[in-house]
Amino acid sequence: MYERYTITDFILDQDFQEWVRSPTSGSDAHWRRVVVLYPHQEENIEAGRKILSSLKFNPIPEEAIHSEKMLNTILSRIDHFEQEQNTVRHPVRSLYSRRGWLKIAASIMLVLGLASGYYRWEQEQPEVIRTAYAETKEVLLPDGSQVVLNGNSSLKYSAGWPDVPVREVWLEGEAYFKVKKLTSDIAAGQGGLKKFQVHTRGLDIEVLGTEFNVHQWQDKSQVVLTEGKVKVNVREREQEVYLKPGELLEYSPEAPRITHKMVDPTHYLHWQDRQLVFDGEPLTMVATRVQEIFGYEVVFEDPQVKAYQFRGTVPYEDPDVLIQILKRAYGIEIEKKEHMLIFKKVKAK
């Protein structure tokens, strides 16, 4: 695909623009792979990146947008880039004439909508919704989709959500999504339906209108589908998995394989009712939830305790209730010390 790309082609490429504008680990990996596959394009990629970056970090004044000043501004930045490149082995000036740069500058103006749309996009700060430990929050997105955000979580999305084919959010933590179906004239394919994507550290989850739970903790990402259909892209594995209602997908870079199985979705949704429900999970899993939701670091002084399995329901708001239940159930000592819970040796009977 990229074998015959020119600098102009890269600048006009939507994925390339998004990478320069908001790089992620996934997009970084993608463009590294492009360089590996097409090493002769490394110079063009770097040239396009620097040109777009100069526009990004040095916004063009709006009064210059609809005049010859706009073109001259872009050309002056290209000149600056050329001067930098003249110090390396293959100067870019030798590859592209001034006329060629004029074509590139004109292309940039075209793709950026005479730069005004791009300029305004760069000035917008993303909306970020955060929750404290043990807090849940209902969020109404600009398109009418509903999100319930679990404790110690954050949700980010671009302000305004302009009319583009894809609605995107970035999640850290856990959330339940009710995605509203929307139609759009510019949503190519999909019968005019507008896509909705949730990004975690390891996954890209794509839907049209459905309900699902996403849980991302440290490097592990999990999706449980309750209604509809979703496509999950595991970025590092370059693998796509389609989920049906009642299915779970779990991914961690450290795991040898992707977990994909049928589950009871209700088991993963009790947090919305302010309850922690455990059904035979080892205390290591209980400890993980305590760390995530309440912010306590959990230390096991007695390794035997880690394997104990716990079944029970406890209120979401108060970790002390869970501590007392575990003490009575297993006859163990649990010391609460600042932001730490220490599971000590089993009491002698």
Q: What is the CATH number of the domain that holds 174?
A: 2.60.120.1440
- Those residues whose C-beta lies under 8 Å from the C-beta of residue 69, and which sit 6 or more positions away, are 63
Q: Which of 90, 123, 156 is at the close of a domain?
A: 123
Q: What is the pTM of this model?
A: 0.61
* Any domain includes 132: no
pLDDT in tens, 62-114: 444 444 555 565 556 555 555 555 554 444 444 445 555 555 555 555 455 43
* Any domain includes 285: yes
* Any domain includes 134: no
* Predicted local distance difference test score (pLDDT) of residue 347: 58
- 169 and 239 in a single domain? The answer is yes
- 293 and 342 in a single domain? The answer is yes
Q: How many domains does the chain have?
A: 3
Q: Which of 244, 267, 290 is at the close of a domain?
A: 267
- 239 and 214 in a single domain? The answer is yes
* Predicted local distance difference test score (pLDDT) of residue 85: 53
* Any domain includes 136: no
For the chain, how far is it from start to end, CA to CA, in angstroms? 71
* Any domain includes 258: yes
* Predicted local distance difference test score (pLDDT) of residue 282: 92
> What Å distances lie between residue 99 and 65, 73, 96, 240, CA to CA?
21, 16, 8, 43
The SS3 call for residue 246 is: coil
* Any domain includes 133: no
- 83 and 152 in a single domain? The answer is no
- 93 and 183 in a single domain? The answer is no
Q: Tell me whether strands 211-217 and 220-227 are parallel, antiparallel or unpaired.
A: antiparallel
* Predicted local distance difference test score (pLDDT) of residue 227: 93
* Predicted local distance difference test score (pLDDT) of residue 187: 44
Which parts of the chain sit beneath pLDDT 70? Answer: 1, 14, 24-26, 54-125, 160, 162-164, 184-193, 346-349
* Any domain includes 69: yes
Rounding to the nearest 10 degrees, give the CA dihedral for residues 165, 170, 171, 175.
-30
By CB atoms closer than 10 A (0-12, 13-18, 19+), residue 141 is buried
**Residue 326 lies in domain:** 274-346
